Amino acid sequence: MQHYRCECGLKTMWGSLPPAECDGCESCNTTLAQHPGLHRIPAPHEPVTRYEQTTGRPYEMCRVCMRRLTPMRGDDGRSID
């Protein structure tokens, strides 16, 4: 189990695998790393289009970190995130 954190310490993570290169802290704009000298600027997300199983609506998600990039929408079209 490894401990990763951003430069400002606001975002931390424990895990056996390193975090994705596009996953970082929004406040200090650095990636999560084990050592202070290893922090970098996060890589841009690589969006791919996926489709919701129940409604068939398209949405964008990052191919690398699997984070959803577009907000979820209800039947009336409003954001439900």
> Alpha-carbon distance 53 to 56, whole Å?
6
Which pairing describes strands 47-51 and 2-5: parallel, antiparallel, or unpaired? unpaired
The pLDDT tens digits of the residues spanning 58-81 come to 999 999 999 998 877 666 666 665
- Any bridge partners for residue 13, and if so which? 4
The pLDDT tens digits of the residues spanning 23-59 come to 999 999 999 999 989 999 999 999 999 998 888 889 9
> Alpha-carbon distance 69 to 12, whole Å?
21
